[in-house]
Structure 1
C-alpha cells in the first residue's frame, strides 16, 4: 500500500502547517459524496489515530485511515498551478469514473 506526496505538495503542506502554527501533517480521506460516489477530504492532523497509516515523504506526513486505503492505494498528492489557481491535485490510479463537475469519483 502506497500513498505518495510530490515535492511541490510537501512544500505547500509545510507552508500551511507553519501558517497554522502546529500540526503533525495532513489527513487524506474520502467521503460519500456527489454523483459519482466519493470525494476527497483533506484536513489537518494533530496526532495519528490507531486506525491510520502514516506516510512520510519530503519531511511531511500524510495520514490515511485503513478503511480508505482500498480507494487511495497508489494515489499521488500533487500541488499545481493552473492559470491563476493553485490547488492540490489527486492522481489516483483507482478512479474508474468522475462526475462532470469534477467534484466526485468512482472506484
Structure 2
C-alpha cells in the first residue's frame, strides 16, 4: 500500500520545494511521534537531498505519489500504511490533512490520532 499524496498535495509539495530553491527530486519525510490529545502526531519535514531518496537507509521506505517523493521510516509506516495526504486551503488557514485507515480515533483538529 504505502503513502499517497492527492494531486493537490503533490502540487503543494512541488511549490514548497520551488519556493525554497530545492530540486523537484527532493521531497518530504513523513512520520509520527508521540503527542497530541489522541496519542500520536503526524510529522512532516523537507528532505533537501535527492540522494536520501536514491539511496535510502535500511530503516526508510521511499514512495512516489503524483510525482512527489515521500520518505518514511519503517516504524512510522506501521501506523501510516495506506494513508492519503491531501492539501486543504480554507478561509482561516491551510494545511496537509491525513486520511489514515489505521487511526481508531482522531482529535477534533485532525492533527493527532489514536490506534
Q: TM-score with structure 2 length normalisation?
A: 0.84
Q: Name the count of aligned residue pairs.
A: 107
Tell me how far apart the structure 2 counterparts of residues 91 and 103 of structure 1 sit (CA, whole Å): 11
Please state how far the C-alpha of 1:2 moved relative to its aligned partner: 1.5
Please state how far the C-alpha of 1:35 moved relative to its aligned partner: 2.7
Structure-2 change in CA distance of 1:101 and 1:3 (3 Å) = closer
Where do residues 86-101 of structure 1 align in structure 2 (5 Å cutoff)? Answer: 86-101=94-109
Structure 2 gaps of 5+ residues are none
Tell me how far apart the structure 2 counterparts of residues 66 and 101 of structure 1 sit (CA, whole Å): 26
Give the aligned partner of residue 33 of structure 2.
31
Structure 1 gaps of 5+ residues are none
Give the aligned partner of residue 13 of structure 1.
13
Give the aligned partner of residue 53 of structure 1.
61
Comparing 66-75 with 41-50, which one deviates more in the overlay? 41-50
Give the aligned partner of residue 78 of structure 2.
70
Superposition RMSD in Å:
1.5
Please state how far the C-alpha of 1:84 moved relative to its aligned partner: 4.0
Tell me how far apart the structure 1 counterparts of residues 114 and 41 of structure 2 sit (CA, whole Å): 9
Tell me how far apart the structure 2 counterparts of residues 101 and 87 of structure 1 sit (CA, whole Å): 11
Tell me how far apart the structure 2 counterparts of residues 33 and 83 of structure 1 sit (CA, whole Å): 27
Query: Which runs of structure 1 show a deviation greater than 4 angstroms over 4 or more consecutive aligned residues?
Result: none
